[in-house]
Chain A
């Protein structure tokens, strides 16, 4: 075996390893993508029927400050559009269930809350910030992605997006 062949072989193995690492880190979910099927990630809690509905999927955790601010706003959205075919699914990412329970007790919600305790779903979606939320159309396609909660600015965008999808 000559030197050059050896080097090529080693370089090939390194390239394959790097390619493997690259493939292992798939791209995050973005606007236009089909959102992963929530029923396939072993989420704790009962998922609502989302067939033919506009869905807001929100990722939150008890330690996240803006998540606390987003809950009253999401309560308002659920109340305003709930009967028109809109549903919010909040996905908790706390490691301890008790942390989620304490959070929900302090910040009551009129929408569905499920738990992704093993972080399987969030690893698939690869959110960039906490909180992150996705507005899905009736076909489960991501029509808008929100990174963080920015008070009135976010609420205005949610309203616009939901109203245009409910038309």
Chain B
């Protein structure tokens, strides 16, 4: 029984060590550095999306623009 617990613990530790986040080396960040990966890659598209969001939901903000939908600014 003791061995079983020990093995379970080992399996958990091994799972934690051998999986999880993958480190991306600085020289492998070409795809991440692509302009399309930016949150504000398409400012016009973002502006339209914000406008639609405001019109449909009667709420604005919370996505990088001033105000949190409180109507105070």
Contacts and interface: CB of A to CB of B under 8 A. Distances in A.
Nearest to B35: A63
Interface string A53-90: 00000010111110000000000000000000000000
Interface residues of B, number: 16
Interface residues of A, number: 23
B17 A18 contact: yes
A63 B30 contact: yes
Contact of A127 (B17, B27, B33): B27
Interface string A5-39: 01100100010001000000000000000000000
Contacts, number: 38
Contacts of A64: 33
Residue among B10, B25, B26, B27 having the largest count of chain A Cβ atoms under 10 Å: B27
Interface stretch (B1-9, B46-54, B59-67): B1-9
A14 B14 contact: yes
Given A14-B13, A14-B14, A127-B27, 5 more contacts: A59-B27, A62-B30, A94-B30, A130-B27, A130-B29
Interface of A: 3, 6-7, 10, 14, 18, 59, 61-65, 93-95, 119, 122-123, 127-130, 132
Interface of B: 2-3, 6-7, 10, 13-14, 17, 25-30, 33-34
